[in-house]
């Protein structure tokens, strides 16, 4: 049985194989690898931290409980993101939350709760002015993403935050390649318009 | 200069860093058209802002909460394999040595069995001799015990009854023993109730 350190160096398919052999450490390694990207995707979809925690947990429970259905000719991460996206989209459809308040979670009932559910993006600029501009841009882009349609949001997040190719996104979301390109193009266009004021 | 400005999807091709035959004219146009250059720069700003977005960290107990709901079981063939592996030496040299010892032992046993099979008559003789000696020793010990318990006279009378008589006597003894035990148990139960 590979040690914990060795698991970190194994490719996803090998870790999945170990998980199918009943190794709990392999299950935990898969969670460790993808908890942040999955949570980030879901959080930006639903804009509520507590809800995103629950949906992320649901995603991993679904994936790890049905690992025997995973096909190794498909990337594990793509399969995982597919399920995460479906979980988030299903929730949004049930809650009819196609547009989300930019002022924090719609479930926030106190000022503190609203503040804690807004985004504060860290930056790495060199001086105070650049720092302020970067912070403003970072927050502005988050607010702009929140206003995108869920389908556009999924595509743009997978493309630019997760670094997936168009073909991988099409495969992950079960969409035609042309549709993915259209969604990303439209998302970029909307984000550009939303950020115009920060460029002045 | 090409007076047609770039279409939005052509800007996207440049933003995505696409390469190929159709992209070169687009790059050439960018060099010459300030308006398209500015649109491309705007698109790049958006992409760079997206690519700089951080990953958020979920609660540190996420893994524990997930594993509490995921059934993990070891398939039977994996459990068997793990059991065998526990007994195997870890290093290659130790495994080779263990294999050599096992092979030598198996060879020696096989040769010994073949030799014994070839010495059939001697085996039968030795086995018979041992059997006779064991039977004699057991019979003698049993007789000595019976004499010590019953005495010579009783033993002679018992021998006179024959096998059937001895079996009946033994049966009577066993019934008496069982009856005694049952009686003592009843007395013990009765005394507890009292």
* A34-81 pLDDT per residue, tens: 999 999 999 999 988 999 999 999 999 999 999 989 888 889 999 999
Whether A18 maps to a domain, the answer reads yes
Whether A105 maps to a domain, the answer reads no
pLDDT tens figures, A85-123: 999 999 988 887 544 444 455 555 555 555 455 544 433
Q: What is the predicted pLDDT for the residue at A121?
A: 40
Of the candidate ranges B103-107, B122-126, B155-159, B178-182, the one whose mean pLDDT is the lowest: B155-159
Whether A25 maps to a domain, the answer reads yes
Cα–Cα dist A41/A92, whole Å: 13
ipTM attached to this prediction: 0.74
Q: What is the predicted pLDDT for the residue at A91?
A: 92
Whether A86 maps to a domain, the answer reads yes
Answer whether A193 touches B (CB < 8 Å): no
CB contact under 8 A, B56 and A43: yes
CB contact under 8 A, A161 and B50: yes
Instruction: Give me the number of domains chain A comprises.
Output: 1
Q: What is the predicted pLDDT for the residue at A99?
A: 45
pTM over 0.90: no
Q: What is the predicted pLDDT for the residue at A127?
A: 55
Answer whether A146 touches B (CB < 8 Å): no
Whether A78 maps to a domain, the answer reads yes
CATH number for the domain spanning A62: value is 1.10.1740.10
Residue that wins the pLDDT comparison between B130 and B158: B130
Whether A95 maps to a domain, the answer reads yes
Whether A94 maps to a domain, the answer reads yes
Q: Range of A74's domain?
A: 1-100
Mean pLDDT of the residues in chain A: 82
CB contact under 8 A, B73 and A22: yes
CB contact under 8 A, A64 and B54: no
Nearest of A18, A45, A42 to residue A30 by alpha carbon: A18
Q: What is the predicted pLDDT for the residue at B169?
A: 78
Chains A–B, number of C-beta pairs less than 8 Å apart: 109
Percent of chain A with pLDDT over 90: 55
Answer whether B49 touches A (CB < 8 Å): yes
Q: With 80 as the cut, is the pLDDT of residue A133 above it?
A: no
Tell which of A39, A80, A117, A178 to mutate to test the B interface (max B CBs under 10 Å): A39
Instruction: Provide, as residue numbers in chain A, all residues whose Cβ is less than 8 Å from the Cβ of B53.
Output: 40, 121, 138, 141-142, 160-161
């Amino acid at each position: 049985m590979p040690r914990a350190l060795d698991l970190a160096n194994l490719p996803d398919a090998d870790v999945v194989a170990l998980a199918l052999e009943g190794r709990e450490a392999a299950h935990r390694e898969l969670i460790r690898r993808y908890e942040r990207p999955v949570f980030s995707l879901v959080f930006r979809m639903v804009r509520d931290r507590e809800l995103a925690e629950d949906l992320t947990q649901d995603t991993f429970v679904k994936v790890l409980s049905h690992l025997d259905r995973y096909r190794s000719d498909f990337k594990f991460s793509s399969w995982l993101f597919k399920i995460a996206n479906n979980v988030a989209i299903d929730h949004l459809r049930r809650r009819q939350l196609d547009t989300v308040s930019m002022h924090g979670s719609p479930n926030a009932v106190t000022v503190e709760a609203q503040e804690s559910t807004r985004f504060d993006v860290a930056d790495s600029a060199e001086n105070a002015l650049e720092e302020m501009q970067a912070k403003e841009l970072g927050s502005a882009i988050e607010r702009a993403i929140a206003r995108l349609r869920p389908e556009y949001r999924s595509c743009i997040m997978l493309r630019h935050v997760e670094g997936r190719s168009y073909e991988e996104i099409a495969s992950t979301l079960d969409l035609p390649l042309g549709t993915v390109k259209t969604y990303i193009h439209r998302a970029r266009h909307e984000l550009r318009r939303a950020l115009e004021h920060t460029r002045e | 200069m090409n007076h047609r400005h770039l279409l939005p999807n052509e800007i996207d091709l440049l933003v995505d860093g696409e390469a190929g035959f159709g992209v070169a004219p687009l790059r050439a146009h960018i060099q010459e058209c300030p308006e398209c250059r500015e649109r491309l720069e705007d698109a790049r700003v958006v992409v760079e802002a997206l690519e700089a977005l951080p990953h958020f960290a979920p609660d540190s107990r996420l893994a524990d909460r997930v594993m509490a709901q995921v059934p993990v079981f070891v398939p039977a063939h994996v459990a068997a394999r793990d059991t065998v592996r526990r007994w195997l030496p870890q290093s290659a040299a130790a495994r080779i040595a263990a294999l050599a010892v096992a092979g030598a032992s198996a060879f020696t046993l096989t040769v010994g069995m073949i030799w014994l099979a070839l010495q059939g008559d001697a085996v039968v003789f030795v086995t018979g001799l041992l059997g006779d000696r064991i039977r004699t020793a057991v019979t003698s010990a049993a007789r000595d015990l019976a004499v010590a318990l019953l005495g010579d006279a009783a033993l002679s009378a018992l021998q006179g009854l024959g096998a059937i008589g001895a079996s009946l006597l033994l049966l009577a003894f066993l019934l008496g023993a069982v009856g005694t035990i049952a009686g003592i148990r009843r007395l013990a139960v009765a005394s507890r109730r009292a």
